[in-house]
Amino acid sequence: MGPIAVSRADDPDLTATVLRVVDGDTVDVVEDFRGRLRIRLIGIDSPEVHKPGYGVGCWGPEASEFARSALSGQRVAIVTDPSQDTHDRYGRTYLH
């Protein structure tokens, strides 16, 4: 797996601030023009921690904590992947 395409505060193409990490592959952001969005991080598939009807996946809490420590409060650029739809089946916007 390659590096995660996340822009930091010194990147000129900033478009959102990470408000909350939902789990290891899902974050809530405030996008500068569209407002609040739930984002699915492309290329990351972390174990479940909040899915109804499922138990907490092995290493799920650790994946969530890693995402929280790396992304909470960060300014990020939203970059779509042309090979993917803009939203997944749960309505999350893809972030690459």
pLDDT tens string 1-31: 444 444 444 444 558 999 999 888 889 999 8
Active-site annotation holds for 40: yes
The dihedral sign for the CA sequence 31, 90, 63, 22:
positive
Query: Hey, where are the domains in the chain?
Result: 16-95
pLDDT above 60 for 92: yes
Q: Retrieve residue 52's tokens.
A: 């109804």
What's the CATH fold of domain 16-95? Answer: OB fold (Dihydrolipoamide Acetyltransferase, E2P) (2.40.50)
**Per-residue confidence at 72, pLDDT binned at 50, 70, 90?**
very high
Q: What DSSP letter does each residue of 52-92 carry, written as one string?
A: TTSPPPTTHHHHHHHHHHHHTT-EE-----TTS-SB-TTSP
Among the listed residues 31, 38, 48, 68, the single catalytic one is: 48
- What predicted TM-score, i.e. pTM, was given to this entire model? 0.67
Q: What is the average pLDDT across 70-85?
A: 83
Active-site annotation holds for 92: yes
pLDDT above 50 for 56: yes
pLDDT tens string 29-54: 998 888 898 888 878 777 676 666 76
